[in-house]
Chains A and B, each alone.
Chain A
Amino acid sequence: GAGVSQSPRYKVAKRGQDVALRCDPISGHVSLFWYQQALGQGPEFLTYFQNEAQLDKSGLPSDRFFAERPEGSVSTLKIQRTQQEDSAVYLCASSLVPDSPYEQYFGPGTRLTVT
């Protein structure tokens, strides 16, 4: 079946531009996570949704980062006024039920390069 999809796969932005990254989770999956992965590092948690509710945004690095999931399915991660340190791969993951934290299915990621 279809997995988690993300778009675009690659994004180049000039410093100061706003970007929007999209995540389509597996159909019916309640939980949705965003992670940021810098080059050579493991993914780092950004934020978590259960349906449309954003229950944890403790990992968002600054108020320039904003995520939403208005209808409990597709999610968008928005980064305003991008900086070079925002360059990373942004991974989205979904899971069917909140109580199985390890059963997170990851998308391929969006590689963001800020020039």
Chain B
Amino acid sequence: LAKTTQPISMDSYEGQEVNITCSHNNIATNDYITWYQQFPSQGPRFIIQGYKTKVTNEVASLFIPADRKSSTLSLPRVSLSDTAVYYCLVMQKTGFQKLVFGTGTRLLVSP
């Protein structure tokens, strides 16, 4: 499984765009990049997944360069409720596999 590296923590203010970068140098051809969000006292929640270029949903955007050795999760105009831990995972899209979480990035959004 490809190892991921992401910043331990980030601070932001309400209304700003937040970009969290994850490096995964050893990503395999059939691996996808998946991001989870975890609020205090809750389990992680899937937010977005992508293979290459750009993916956007109602929560976030995911940017993946051509070499796929890194990815950036973009949260537009964050609010206080976006304060959470964000995990970057590299995994195959189908078939049984356990989710391998790193330590994640703790995002703190202040007023």
Do A and B share a complex? Answer: yes
- A interface residues (Cβ-Cβ under 8 A, vs B): 4, 31, 33, 35, 40-45, 48, 50, 55-56, 59, 91-93, 98-104, 106-109
User: Which of the four size classes fits the interface of chain B?
Assistant: 20 to 34
By secondary structure, the A interface counts as loop
30 chain-A/chain-B pairs, Cβ below 8 angstroms: A33-B99, A41-B103, A42-B87, A42-B102, A43-B43, A43-B99, A43-B101, A45-B98, A48-B98, A50-B96, A56-B98, A59-B98, A91-B43, A91-B44, A98-B95, A99-B94, A101-B92, A101-B93, A101-B95, A101-B97, A102-B32, A102-B46, A102-B49, A102-B89, A102-B91, A102-B93, A104-B46, A106-B44, A106-B45, A108-B42
A-B contact count (CB 8 A): 69
- B interface residues (Cβ-Cβ under 8 A, vs A): 32, 34, 41-46, 49, 85, 87, 89, 91-104
